[in-house]
Every structure is written in structure tokens, then in C-alpha cells.
Copies of this chain bind each other. A is one copy, B any other.
Amino acid sequence: MCVPLWPLHKVFGIRKIVVSTYQSASGAGAKAMRELEEQCRDFAADKELKAEVFPYQIAFNVFSHNSAVEENGFNGEENKMVEETKKMFHEPGLEIVPMCVRVPVLRAHSESIYIETEKEISPDKARKLLREAPGVIVVDDVKKGYFPMPIEANGKLEVLVGRIRQTGSKKSLALFVAGDQLLKGAAWNAVQIAEELILS
């Protein structure tokens, strides 16, 4: 999320983020990926699907991220998103509303993101900035209906971003991203943000 939002934040000043995730099995480790594969094989073999790594069946299902819900009603993964983003952006007052959800994808996470900004923003301005931003590939072909997908983000260092569009006011935007979090996890993000901060 931070990779495409940071260049937008620097220019337009993001003041609020509402984000829903589509997180792959790989975020829970290799065993979780094998469980999803195994459930698909059991489905094909007409066998009962067994859930051992995840608390619930992951094949043909989605469920709230398996980290525990904490006192503020957010689960551990959601609180991590809020805290890490505030820290990396140096914005303790930034409002972030995350909903973290597992989906039956093997690798690469996706996110549906809505932002509100201080300055007026437009899809064209955002696309132009993102095309020049490090670590981002704009995949936003409206005519072909071709947008970021986790199977295409697999194995890429860049984060794919698309479905960029205005949403009612000139100070809000929606976008959809997909990135291989095994390559672009919190650690690598932090390195990139640190570099950006030093360079800017």
C-alpha cells in the first residue's frame, strides 16, 4: 500500500485511507500455501477439505485475517498496517481504516484503496506521478479491462496499480493494487521509504 501511496502523499497530502485487503495464503507461510493447494486437490478428488493451518477452509472461501482481534476492534494485521504506515509516512495523525481479509490466492496480496487528500487530485495527475514513481507499474487499461492481478504480481519487485479514478470529490481517489509481499514486505518497503525520505 505504501509504495504507490507515498508519491501521492508527498504531492497531494493524504489525510485518510480506507483499505480492504485480498491477502494470499503465502502471507501465512509455505504450509498455508500447501494447504490451499491440498484443498484444491481434495476438491478435484471429491474428498472432504481439511483445514489445519488456517482456522477455516481457504479454498473457495474468504475470511477475516486470522490474527487475533485486539481491544480497539482491529485485528493484529490491521493494527500493524495502521502503525507501520503512520511511522513510515511520519504522520501520526493520518487516519487509516483497514479491513484485512484472506482470499484463496497462493501468492501476492491485493488491496482496494480509497484515499482523501488535502490538495485537489485527479486520476491523470495520479497516473503521471505513479508512472514515474520507483517500484510501481501502472496497469490501468480501461478499454481492455486490464488491471492489477495477484497472478501477474507474482515474482515482481514492483507493485502493480490501476483502477485509478475520482470518487465524488476532487480530493478523493480509488485505486487497486497487487504486489508480491514475499518480495515487497514490510522490511523492503521500509528500506524504500527510507531511501525516499533521504532523497526527498
Q: Check A22 against B167 for contact (C-beta < 8 Å).
A: no
CB-defined interface of A29-47 with B at 8 Å, one 1/0 digit per residue?
0000000110011011100
Does A112 make an interface contact (CB < 8 A)? yes
CB-defined interface of A136-154 with B at 8 Å, one 1/0 digit per residue?
0000001001010111000
Chain B CB count within 10 A is highest, among A57, A61, A147, A165, for A61
CB-defined interface of A59-75 with B at 8 Å, one 1/0 digit per residue?
11111101011001110
Copies in the complex: 2
Return chain B residues, CB-CB under 8 Å to A172. 97
CB-defined interface of A146-179 with B at 8 Å, one 1/0 digit per residue?
0101110000000000111111100010101000
Cα–Cα, bound, A78→B63 (Å): 22
Does A18 make an interface contact (CB < 8 A)? yes
A192 shortest CB reach to chain B, Å: 24
Return chain B residues, CB-CB under 8 Å to A40. 40, 43-44, 59
Apart from the given pairs A60-B150, A61-B150, A97-B167, 9 other A-B contacts in the complex at a CB distance below 8 Å? A20-B20, A20-B112, A41-B43, A60-B151, A61-B151, A62-B110, A69-B145, A97-B114, A97-B168
Chain A interface residues (CB < 8 Å from chain B): 18, 20, 22, 36-37, 40-41, 43-45, 55-57, 59-64, 66, 68-69, 72-74, 95, 97, 99, 101, 103-106, 110, 112, 114, 123, 142, 145, 147, 149-151, 162-168, 172, 174, 176
A sample of 27 cross-chain residue pairs with beta-carbon separation below 8 angstroms, ordered by A number, consists of A22-B22, A40-B40, A40-B43, A41-B43, A43-B44, A56-B151, A61-B151, A62-B149, A64-B147, A64-B162, A64-B176, A68-B145, A69-B145, A72-B165, A73-B123, A73-B142, A74-B165, A95-B168, A97-B168, A99-B112, A99-B163, A99-B174, A99-B176, A101-B176, A103-B103, A103-B104, A104-B105
